[in-house]
Amino acid sequence: MKLAQPDAKMLEEVGQLAEVRGRSLWADARARFFRNKAALAGLVVLILIFIFAMFGGLIAQYERDFVDFSLMGANAYRGVPSIETGHYFGVDIDGRDLYARTVQGTRISLLVGIVGALVAVFVGTLYGATAGYVGGRVDNIMMRTVDVLMSIPFMFVLILMLVIFGRSILMLFIGIGLISWLDMARIARGQTLTIKNKEFVEAAVATGVKPLTIILRHVVPNLLGIVIVYATLLVPQMIIFESFISYLGLGVQEPNTSLGALMSLGTKQMNNGTLWMLFYPLFFFLITLFAFFFVGDGLRDALDPKDR
C-alpha cells in the first residue's frame, strides 16, 4: 500500500489555509460597523464636520472678530448670506462674519464634547475598574461616592462655580470633567465585575501579577468596547450641556464662541427676519449631534451585539 504523497499543489493549499487568519473581535466589529449604513453616513458627516472645524477658517474672507461697521444697522438686508460679499453665512448682529464664527463655534463645541468624553474615559474607566476589581468595602465606598455625586444637581453647582470663579473655558472644562465620568464609572464597574471572575484574570492573580497591573493590562482592555460606545454617546450630551451654559451667558466668552452661544444669539434675532443667524449654527449643531448619535448607535451594535 502506498500512502498518497503530498504533492506540491496540496502543500501549497495547506499553506494558504494556514494563512487564513482568525478574525479578532475588533475585525468583526469593524465589519459589522461598516455594514451599518446609518452609522457609516454618520462617520462620513463627522469627518466632514471635523474638516470644516479645522480648515474651514482658511476660506473665510473675514477674521472672526472683525466688525463690519459698514453694515451697522443694515445687516438685515445687506448682511444676508451671499458668495459675492464673502459673508457665506451672512453676518451676525454685530456685523461679524458668521461663517468664520460658525467655524470657530463648531471647533469649540467639538472640543468641549471631546474633552468631556476623554475625562470620562480616563477617570471613569480607571475608577470603575478599580472599584469593581478591588471589591468589598472599597467598592462600596467608591460607588456610594458616585451615587452621592450623581444626586447633586450639578448644573446649579456649575452655574455657581462659573459665577464665583469667573467665566472661562478652563472653568467650563473643570465643570464638565466633574460630572462626565460618573456614568462611565458605573458602567465600567459593572463590566469589571463580570470580567474579574474570568480565567485569564485568575491566571494573572495566580502568577503573582500586581493588582494595578491586572487592572491596567487585563481588565481595562476588555472594557474598551463598551467604553468607546459610551464615550461616543457622551460627546453629544456634553455639547448640549455646553450649549445650555452658553445660553445663560456663562460659557465661552466673546470674542470666542460656541455653537450654543451662536444659537442663543440667533434666537434673540429671530423676530427681525434674520433667520440665518439661527439657522447656520443650528444646522451644524444638529448634524454634529446626529452624526455622533448614529456613530454611537452603530458602535454599540458593532461592539455589543447581544442587544439585537
By the rule CB under 8 A, 155 interacts with another protein: yes
Q: Which segment (74-82, 102-110, 218-226, 239-247) binds another protein by CB under 8 A?
A: 239-247
| Candidate list 24, 197, 207, 271; residue touching another protein; CB under 8 A | 271
Cα–Cα dist 78/68, whole Å: 11
Grid coordinates representing 67?
466688525
By the rule CB under 8 A, 289 interacts with another protein: yes
Q: Helix, strand or coil for residue 207?
A: coil
Give the DSSP per-residue string, 182-196. HHHHHHHHHHHHHHT
| Candidate list 6, 136, 153, 208; residue touching another protein; CB under 8 A | 153
Which C-beta is closer to another protein: that of 44 or that of 160? Answer: 160
Which C-beta is closer to another protein: that of 68 or that of 139? Answer: 139
CB of 44 vs another protein, minimal distance in Å: 18
| Candidate list 6, 83, 156, 206; residue touching another protein; CB under 8 A | 156
By C-alpha distance, which of 230, 196, 221, 212 is closest to 124?
230
| Candidate list 260, 265, 277, 280; residue touching another protein; CB under 8 A | 260
CB atoms within 10 A of CB 229: 21
Cα–Cα dist 50/22, whole Å: 34
Q: Which segment (3-11, 47-55, 194-202, 286-294) binds another protein by CB under 8 A?
A: 286-294
Which C-beta is closer to another protein: that of 60 or that of 239? Answer: 239
CB atoms within 10 A of CB 84: 5
Contact 128, 185 (CB under 8 A): yes
Q: Residue 54 CA to chain centroid, in angstroms?
A: 16
Q: Residue 155 CA to chain centroid, in angstroms?
A: 20
| Candidate list 19, 148, 197, 207; residue touching another protein; CB under 8 A | 148
Q: Helix, strand or coil for residue 307?
A: helix
CB of 108 vs another protein, minimal distance in Å: 16
By the rule CB under 8 A, 240 interacts with another protein: yes
CB of 152 vs another protein, minimal distance in Å: 5
CB of 247 vs another protein, minimal distance in Å: 4
CB of 250 vs another protein, minimal distance in Å: 9
CB of 273 vs another protein, minimal distance in Å: 11
By the rule CB under 8 A, 263 interacts with another protein: yes
Size of the site for another protein (CB under 8 A): 35
C-alpha separations of 19 from 22, 24, 25, 168 in Å? 9, 15, 18, 56
Where does the chain have alpha helices with state H? 8-19, 25-35, 37-55, 98-119, 125-134, 136-150, 154-165, 169-195, 199-206, 211-213, 220-247, 259-268, 276-303
By the rule CB under 8 A, 173 interacts with another protein: no
Cα–Cα dist 203/207, whole Å: 6
Q: Which segment (42-50, 54-62, 218-226, 236-244) binds another protein by CB under 8 A?
A: 236-244
Q: Helix, strand or coil for residue 97?
A: strand
Residue with cell 446609518: 38
By the rule CB under 8 A, 74 interacts with another protein: no
Which residues make up the interface to another protein (CB under 8 A)? 144, 147-148, 151-153, 155-157, 159-161, 163-164, 236, 240, 243-244, 247-248, 260, 263-264, 267-268, 270-271, 278, 282, 285-286, 289-290, 293, 307
